[in-house]
C-alpha cells in the first residue's frame, strides 16, 4: 500500500468514496469536498494536509488533518474515509499513522478526532480507542437531536514538565 499526498486529480475518487462509505449525508460530503479543495489550493503542510492510501493505483482511503487555528501544536483529524471494500485491511491504521508522523514533523503534539455517538458509529469509536485515542468528552445532541459528538485525543509528543520559576525552590521558609 502506498500512502501519498492527494492531488486535484483525486477529487472524483474522493467524492465516490465519501458517497459509498456510508454514514455521511449530502451536507457532510459537500463540506468534505470543500475542505479537500481548500487543502489542494493551499499547499501548506499545516493547513488541510491530505493523504491517500492507494493499492494498485486505486485509492482505498484518505485522511485530512490540519493545525487547529489559534493553537501552538494541536491538530484535528478533519476527515477519515475508508472505501467499504478496503475496511479491516489496515488502511485506516496506516493512514492515521502517516498523519501522526506528518503532525509530529510539523511541530504537532496532539491529534484530536471527533465522531458521532450514534450506535452505528460504534466501530469507528472502537477504532480510535484501539489506536490509543482517549475520549476527552461527549456532548449530547451535538450534531443533531439524538446524535452526540464524541471527542478523542491522542498525545503524540508529551509536553515537557513545567519547571518552577528560578528561585522558587530556594526561598527561605517562614520561621526558618
The pLDDT assigned to 168 comes to 55
User: How far apart (Å, rounded) are the C-alpha atoms in residues 13 and 174?
Assistant: 70
Statement: residue 175 has pLDDT above 80: no
The pLDDT assigned to 164 comes to 66
The pLDDT assigned to 167 comes to 60
The pLDDT assigned to 124 comes to 94
Query: Span 36-52, mean pLDDT?
Result: 91
Q: What is the pLDDT of residues 121-163, one digit of tens each?
A: 999 999 999 999 999 999 999 999 999 999 999 999 877 666 6
- Comparing 43 with 79, the larger pLDDT belongs to 79
End-to-end CA distance of the chain: 68
- Domains of the chain, by residue range, sit at 2-155
The pLDDT assigned to 45 comes to 75
Determine contact, residues 5/50, Cβ cutoff 8 Å.
yes
SS3 sequence of the chain: CEEEECCHHHHHHHHHHHHHHCCCCHHHHHHHHHHHHHHHHHCCCCCCEEEEEEECCEEEEEEEEEECCCCCCEEEEEEEEECHHHCCCCHHHHHHHHHHHHHHHCCCCEEEEEEECCHHHHHHHHHHHHCCCEEEEEEEEEEECCEEEEEEEEECCCCCCCCCCCCCCCCCCCCC
With respect to CATH, is domain 2-155 assigned 1.25.40.10? no
Give me 141's grid cell. Answer: 445532541
Q: What is the pLDDT of residues 19-38, one digit of tens each?
A: 998 778 899 999 999 999 99
Q: What is the pLDDT of residues 65-113, one digit of tens each?
A: 999 999 999 999 999 999 988 988 999 999 999 999 999 999 999 999 9
User: How far apart (Å, rounded) are the C-alpha atoms in residues 119 and 147?
Assistant: 9
Amino acid at each position: 500500500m502506498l500512502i501519498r499526498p492527494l492531488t486535484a486529480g483525486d477529487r472524483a475518487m474522493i467524492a465516490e468514496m465519501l458517497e459509498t462509505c456510508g454514514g455521511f449525508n449530502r451536507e457532510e460530503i459537500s463540506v468534505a469536498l470543500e475542505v479537500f479543495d481548500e487543502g489542494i489550493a493551499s499547499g501548506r503542510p499545516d493547513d488541510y494536509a491530505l493523504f491517500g492510501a492507494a493499492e494498485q493505483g486505486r485509492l482505498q482511503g484518505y485522511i485530512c488533518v490540519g493545525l487547529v487555528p489559534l493553537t501552538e501544536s494541536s491538530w484535528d483529524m478533519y476527515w477519515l474515509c475508508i472505501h467499504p471494500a478496503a475496511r479491516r485491511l489496515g488502511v485506516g491504521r496506516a493512514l492515521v499513522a502517516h498523519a501522526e508522523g506528518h503532525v509530529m514533523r510539523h511541530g504537532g503534539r496532539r491529534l484530536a478526532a471527533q465522531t458521532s455517538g450514534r450506535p452505528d458509529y460504534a466501530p469507528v469509536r472502537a477504532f480510535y480507542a484501539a489506536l490509543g485515542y482517549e475520549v476527552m468528552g461527549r456532548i449530547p445532541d451535538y450534531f443533531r437531536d439524538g446524535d452526540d459528538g464524541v471527542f478523542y485525543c491522542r498525545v503524540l509528543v508529551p509536553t515537557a514538565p513545567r519547571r518552577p520559576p528560578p528561585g522558587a525552590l530556594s526561598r527561605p521558609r517562614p520561621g526558618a
